[in-house]
Chains A and B, each alone.
Chain A
């Protein structure tokens, strides 16, 4: 059944040129994008249904020779860690197409880049060959550069270039690290490298280089400065994918590659990672409080949230790791929802400045309620996705790093504070804008509703996910007496 993954990744690649060629008619290019994204989603769901849960190890594996001269194979497969992320990515890709339904300006190029971005994102989470992983990782850069640059906000030039250079530096350093691994390990194959022993200096050098790559992408705090610029300037659908999927590439790589290949080194590094995680959580939350731009707020909140994933990874107990993986999914969904809501509010009110907004609840009730649901989910309301993920993280991390976990929990309080305060100002308060556009139609609310529904679905019944994630993660767990 390996073809399922190949098809899921390849479908948008086939659709991209079709969209580009249809560019003369502004309303046409979105259709191929919709078809391929729904197709990818259907294939991913089919993959999930075929996937035999409750056991570790890769499934649905396909190996195609790609560049035999270098021993590079198109080696794809999923396990309990990557499958949830694949599903989340495919779902977000489809939602994003819906959210872009109204794009008319140079729509051929737009949907071309959007689909190419999907290829990169889906590929990263299924690749089991390091070069293939890098290929997709880097492939996601170019479309995002264009999406920000062509359809972005006023400071798009700066934001696009900054995004490109920061994340480009990260991925090219990763590339070099992979080459070194290939040299000492004799292969690019991830599953083989996991059982390879490397000389200690090589381990240290490669681990450091890889961590730099993940740290830029995740982002870990001193390297985060590209994120607010990119998220704020990007068009709404691009922001959704940036926060929803691209950030997860960093934490996924951390678990899959750094922890997978260098478990001992990772264990030794865990305390440092925990400190970085707490810094991320608190720094992101504090800066989020200071934001007046709605998108900026969600961007800094994302930095904060990624800290919980890092904390879970650092703790290394089975429970914490399970939570970390689910947090990737949950944060992906909720961040996408909040960015979409911010975009919609911007469109409706003509501004994203929080002080200038108000009274949304009366003017656009559906949008308001859905945004509120997102905010509540974000701050960890039980029954919604983020709670289902963060709770195990805290539970699992407390065993390993009690002090850090308590500090991180303070982050929750901050998050609750600024999100509720913001929601109160935007939703209730007096409306200050003179004239509002008519409320958004059903088609515009559809992606928002879908995202909200997914949050509830994950939050109410997370067991399905933990059934998937558990076995794969317990292979990697080490901290606090495992489990």
Chain B
């Protein structure tokens, strides 16, 4: 039972090892198969997880170290889906940079494995170990294009701040262990009352907040998202963020419901600050990838509203938002990945007239940006509707007001990109490389999902509500 329930994770680990091994023997020209192998492994894991989710699996494994409940499975599905999209875009990206090493795929799979284990843990030890797996793989992925100094800088920045966050997390965990004598989430909270428990909780939350890139732990994000390979930035800004959010929500809501007062206020402030800083800083960016980095800080702020409000509706709203956010944000970074590198930059001016050079790419990017802005016919609006409604319902109307005001601010920078896309006039430049089949599939799927969930959000909303078993 135990082993069978973890089959998707086992498939991933096996695929990662197989990719590493095969990398040693495959001749140079056949390395593309490594990507396909990874995709197959990811798809199998995704299929397995989705089946578990559909079946409503709710299993406590190894004496409660793992909890595979719908909440965990929902986030596992999100992470796997994001990774699959990222992988599809990575294939042509790596090819263009002349980097076909299998390590990329192996590290990506290991990062996904870490994220998967993280969201299903109910024990601080496992949470920490899984998060380190995610982090270490991510540091290496961020620096993957090391000949480019920006990539190295991206990795270094992320590493230094990540280590600091890990230290805070560990210290917080050690305090909680000292207070409660346990690492089990269901026990820790009950025995960690008092002000010291709150201090410990803040330290733990800080560790996760870095991964979410929430203010004040956001400093690494712009440099890392800008310097890392674009698909890696897509992964970090979605899958990694979603996994950290899931763990944070689980820790707070299952372990510390008693301490709700203080941390609700704390997250209200963090959410408000993230929305404000992310949106305002994005206004001034000329580099689109950097702008998206600030935008994803702001988007993280929207999602964190859920932790401030901390009602079932709010958490369901954050699940929905994160799910659709994966499509729109991976999509946006992916489109940029086609422009960056040898054929052109990522400055606003580089996007001039893209609608005439590459209509499909421009259309996809437009859909993603309009969705990030939260406009009708896209999933972003439905996500904001649900989140802001939950805020009003939970007595945090001021946070919703704050959110809508900064939503208007965000119109400016999202629509400025559209202006460049559709009516900028650019000097003729070499055409961007043609999209390959996997990348086309990934982008097409992301675009379709963004529009589809914008018109028919009900199934996903239902699933998000259904995945809240842990709160009942």
Contact = CB atoms under 8 A, between A and B. Distances in A.
Nearest to B414: A164
A138 B377 CA distance: 10
A172 B375 contact: no
Contacts of B405: 172
A146 B385 contact: no
B376 A139 contact: yes
B423 A69 contact: no
A252 interface: no
Given A69-B461, A179-B400, A168 B411 contact: yes
B370 A142 contact: yes
Interface stretch (B43-51, B167-175, B388-396): B388-396
A165 B461 contact: no
Contacts of B423: 149-150, 156
Interface string B363-388: 00000001000011100011001101
Interface string A45-85: 00000000000000000000011111000000000000000
Interface in B335-370: 355, 370
Contact of A179 (B392, B411, B462): B392
A142 B375 contact: yes
A70 B392 contact: no
**Counting chain A CB atoms within 10 Å of each CB, which of B375, B392, B404, B412 scores highest?**
B404
B422 A149 contact: yes
Given A157-B419, A175-B404, A70 B386 contact: yes
Nearest to A170: B408
Interface string A394-409: 0000000000000000
Contacts of A160: 419
B18 interface: no
B375 A141 contact: yes
Main secondary structure of the interface of B (DSSP, over half): helix
B388 A176 contact: yes
Contact of A138 (B375, B412, B419): B375
Contact of B461 (A67, A145, A156, A168): A67
Nearest to A156: B423
Contacts of B355: 109
Contacts of A169: 408
Interface in A147-206: 149-150, 156-157, 160-161, 164-165, 168-169, 172-173, 175-176, 179-180, 182-183
Nearest to B389: A179
B412 to A, nearest CB: 6
Contact of B408 (A136, A156, A172): A172
Nearest to B320: A69
B97 interface: no
A142 B369 CA distance: 12
Contacts of B115: none
A91 interface: no
B376 A146 contact: no
A465 interface: no
A135 interface: yes
B436 interface: no
A141 B404 CA distance: 16
B411 A165 contact: yes
B422 A150 contact: yes
Q: How large is the interface on A (under 10, 10 to 19, 20 to 34, 35 or more residues)?
A: 20 to 34
A172 B375 CA distance: 10
B29 to A, nearest CB: 38
Contacts of B416: 161
A66 B386 CA distance: 14
A182 B389 CA distance: 8
B401 interface: yes
Contacts of B408: 165, 168-169, 172
A67 B422 contact: no
B386 to A, nearest CB: 7
Contact of B376 (A135, A149, A165, A182): A135
A169 B408 CA distance: 6
A176 B458 CA distance: 21
Contact of B422 (A70, A146, A165, A183): A146
A46 to B, nearest CB: 26
A131 interface: yes
A157 B415 CA distance: 11
Contact of B404 (A66, A156, A173): A173
A164 B389 CA distance: 23
B386 A172 contact: no
A165 B412 contact: yes
B375 A183 contact: no
Interface string A93-137: 000000000000000010000000000100000000001000110
A300 to B, nearest CB: 26
Contacts of A139: 375-377
**Counting chain B CB atoms within 10 Å of each CB, which of A69, A120, A136, A157 scores highest?**
A69
B407 interface: yes
A157 B431 CA distance: 26
A371 B387 CA distance: 50
A70 B411 contact: no
B415 A69 contact: no
A131 B377 CA distance: 13
A234 to B, nearest CB: 14
Interface string B408-450: 1001100110110011000000000000000000000000000
B392 A180 contact: yes
Interface of B: 355, 370, 375-377, 381-382, 385-386, 388-389, 392-393, 397, 400-401, 404-405, 407-408, 411-412, 415-416, 418-419, 422-423, 457-458, 461-462, 465
20 contacts: A67-B458, A68-B458, A69-B457, A69-B458, A109-B355, A131-B385, A135-B376, A136-B376, A146-B422, A149-B422, A150-B422, A161-B416, A165-B411, A168-B408, A168-B411, A176-B388, A176-B400, A179-B389, A179-B392, A182-B392
The 6 A-B pairs at the shortest CB distance, nearest first, are namely A69-B461, A139-B376, A172-B404, A179-B392, A169-B408, A179-B389
Given A66-B458, A67-B457, A142-B375, 5 more contacts: A68-B458, A131-B385, A139-B377, A165-B408, A168-B411
